[in-house]
Amino acid sequence: MKTLLSLLLLLLATCSLLLAQGQVIKGNASYYADKFHGQRTASGEIYNKDSMTCAHLKYPFGTILKVRNPLNDKTVYVRVTDRGPYVKHRIIDLSRAAARELDIIRAGFSMVEITPFLPNEVPFLPDENGPLELPELDLLYMPAATFPVPAWQNDTMRVTEQLKKLTSTWNLTSP
């Protein structure tokens, strides 16, 4: 009975996630004040005002969100690194760089549309000739013990006599 209930809950959670992934959320966006630059975010990262990051209450850390300003049709992609905003009628806090790209710096906030970015839904258009073929690489590995001359002898910088004496007594053995 427990396994059936667990399976049902898992199925319900999966279906709700699949339905929510393509959902467009509309609301007001604001941006971080400059005083938060260099501060630690809820995810543990250090906030940088020049990065394309955001704060959202629900999406997991690391989620990529597509944020569109419907007033000027500009779009940015941001990564969730913090929690917030904790202000009524705001759904996302953007970094200063993302807000600048969307042209909401002067107003302080703006209406936006948020859509989770799903990398598996990015269309791929191959060339007319078919898929791109990459050449194979031939790599030659040489174990460090087989180098014929110690590195300090090839070095053009001065090496102290004490270091030369120390390394000259080392016995190099091959594996």
Of 63, 67, 60, whose CA–CA distance to 29 is shortest? 67
**What pLDDT tens digit does each residue of the chain (175 aa) get?**
667 556 555 555 454 444 455 689 999 999 999 999 999 999 999 999 999 999 999 998 888 999 999 999 999 999 999 999 998 889 999 999 999 999 999 999 999 999 998 665 444 555 566 555 656 666 666 565 655 666 556 555 555 666 666 666 666 665 5
Say which DSSP state 39 is in. Answer: -
Taking the C-alpha atoms of residue 59 and residue 35, their distance in angstroms, rounded to an integer, is 24
Q: What is the pTM for the complete model shown?
A: 0.58
Of 151, 145, 140, whose CA–CA distance to 174 is shortest? 145
Opening angle at CA 86, ends 106 and 72, nearest 5? 30
Query: Which domains, and CATH codes, for the chain?
Result: 23-120 (2.40.40.10)
Q: Please, what sign has the CA dihedral across residues 10, 57, 69, 32?
A: negative
